[in-house]
Amino acid sequence: MSRADFAHIQTPTLLLAGEKDQNAPLDTVLAAYRAMPKAQLAIVANAPHGVLQSGFSAAWAMIDKFLRD
């Protein structure tokens, strides 16, 4: 997807990423976040790409907050 494609996403979206994700590095995630007008960003500290497996408690807390807001 291009930056322009991300800019067209108008739905509130949570971008959840692991701090140490090598498949989707933080700079890539940050670029998508900045391009999406209604995005929220959640980074799980020290987590790899499998953030829900390695940091489920932290990830779920971020997802739960997003859904409640």
Answer whether residue 53 shows pLDDT above 90.
yes
- The arithmetic mean of pLDDT across residues 56-64, rounded, is 95
Answer whether residue 65 shows pLDDT above 90.
yes
Interior angle at CA 47, CA 41 and CA 51, nearest 5: 70
What's the confidence (pLDDT) of residue 2?
84
Answer whether residue 13 shows pLDDT above 90.
yes
- The arithmetic mean of pLDDT across residues 6-31, rounded, is 94
Q: Output the pTM of the full model.
A: 0.86
Phi, psi of 22 (to 5 degrees): -90, -15
